[in-house]
Every structure is written in structure tokens, then in C-alpha cells.
Chain A
Amino acid sequence: AQSVTQPDIHITVSEGASLELRCNYSYGATPYLFWYVQSPGQGLQLLLKYFSGDTLVQGIKGFEAEFKRSQSSFNLRKPSVHWSDAAEYFCAVDELGSSASKIIFGSGTRLSIRP
């Protein structure tokens, strides 16, 4: 079965510092990969997605992610975090079902920002 692993449960970063959130997936073919962000008490907002082509994808709010097939990774990065980036971040893969997609989420990484 497909799976997504986010090894870091909680990360604290100083405001203005760079950020990298790790994500590894298990999938046989080329996956459809996503990063979602969830602020406390809120729904899921799509940050960025990868389907094919350029392995470095740009998203909203200054985030980017790089697909590395050799490492089965899709790490999320931001060069300079803002206090408003504090949230839960979920990496996800689309498990291509026979008739409809099914998104498999990682367990999430909670990001705290140190003033």
C-alpha cells in the first residue's frame, strides 16, 4: 500500500530563518504529490503540487518543493519563514485508484515560529 512519511512531528524555527520539512513516499509509479497546510481550527489549503515535468515546483506563500525520485522524497522549503507560517503541514500522495483518486496523507509536521 502507498504511504507517506513525515519524520518530524514538530519543528521550531526562528522567524526569518529558512525551513525544510521532510516527506518520503512509498509508491510504485510516478506519484502525484501535494503539500497542504492547516492552520488551527481551519481546513486544508493546498500549497503546491507535483504531477510531472520540472521537479522543483513553486507554490503559494513563497513555498517550494523538490521531487527527488532517487530518494522518494518531496521536501517542502521556504527561504525565510514568517510568524504566520505557524501551522500543521501535511504531505500527501494521490493513490491512483481504478476510478477515482484517493489522497493518502502523512501524519503531519507542526511548525512553530520562534520570535
Chain B
Amino acid sequence: EPEVTQTPSHQVTQMGQEVILRCVPISNHLYFYWYRQILGQKVEFLVSFYNNEISEKSEIFDDQFSVERPDGSNFTLKIRSTKLEDSAMYFCASSEARTSTREQYFGPGTRLTVT
């Protein structure tokens, strides 16, 4: 069964450093998403991406964040200058074109620790 993959599984970085989290969505999917889960809290929507541009973003997704689909398979989330409060689990998801099911498939997540 096709699945969303994410690398690395755990990333440790120092405050102020740039990080790039990588995701490989399911191959025939056209919509891509990033979500964040701070430890002990609920999962929060960050951004959706379609046709090489951002469809929607939350208030969390400020100028420090950016997303990119650099090639036909990868989808990345970049945090320009990490802060302590960016420590969280980051989930990538993908979905097919706008169908009646609108089901998103989630990756296993990348745990980001900012020290």
C-alpha cells in the first residue's frame, strides 16, 4: 500500500539554525499539507499546497516558514531561523485531487528538537 514517508525521523538543531524537513507524498496525489503537534497538544494545521503554490496557511505559518516542491516527488518544509517553540512533531500529508472523500494520508512525522 502506498504511503507518505518523511525524513529525518528526528532532527536536533540549535536555535537560530535553518532546518529542512522532507516528505515524499503518495505518487498520484496532488495536494500536500504540513501539520504540527507540540508535545502533549493537539495536531495543528500549518499549510496546504497545490499546483506549486500555497492554497491556505494558518497564523502559525509566518515568514519563518516556507514550503517547496523542488522536484516531482519531494515536498519540503523549511524553517529559516528556528526558535525553541518550534520544537514539535511535524506531519506531512497528501491527498488526491478534489474528490468526494478528501482523505488525507499522513506520514510518520519528524520530531524536531530545538536546543
Collect the chain B residues with CB atoms within 8 Å of residue A98's CB: 55-56
Collect the chain B residues with CB atoms within 8 Å of residue A42's CB: 108-109
Instruction: Tell me whether A105 and B108 are in contact (CB under 8 A).
Output: no
Most buried by A among B43, B45, B56, B100: B43
The size of the chain A interface, using a CB distance under 8 A, is 27
Interface residue from B42, B101, B103 paired with A105 (Cβ < 8 Å) = B42
Given A43-B91, A102-B45, A104-B45: A97 touches B55 (CB 8 Å cut-off): yes
A-B contact count (CB 8 A): 69
Given A97-B48, A97-B56: A106 touches B102 (CB 8 Å cut-off): no
Instruction: Tell me whether A46 and B42 are in contact (CB under 8 A).
Output: no
1-35 of chain B: CB within 8 A of chain A: 31, 33, 35
Closest B-chain residue to A4, C-beta based? B42
29-68 of chain B: CB within 8 A of chain A: 31, 33, 35, 41-45, 48-50, 55-56
Q: How far is the CA of A99 from the CA of B41 in the complex (A)?
A: 27
12 A-B pairs, CB-CB below 8 angstroms? A51-B102, A92-B43, A96-B102, A97-B56, A98-B55, A100-B55, A101-B95, A102-B45, A103-B33, A103-B43, A103-B104, A106-B42
Q: Please report A residues at the B interface, Cβ cutoff 8 Å.
A: 32, 34, 36, 42-46, 49, 51-52, 90, 92, 94, 96-108
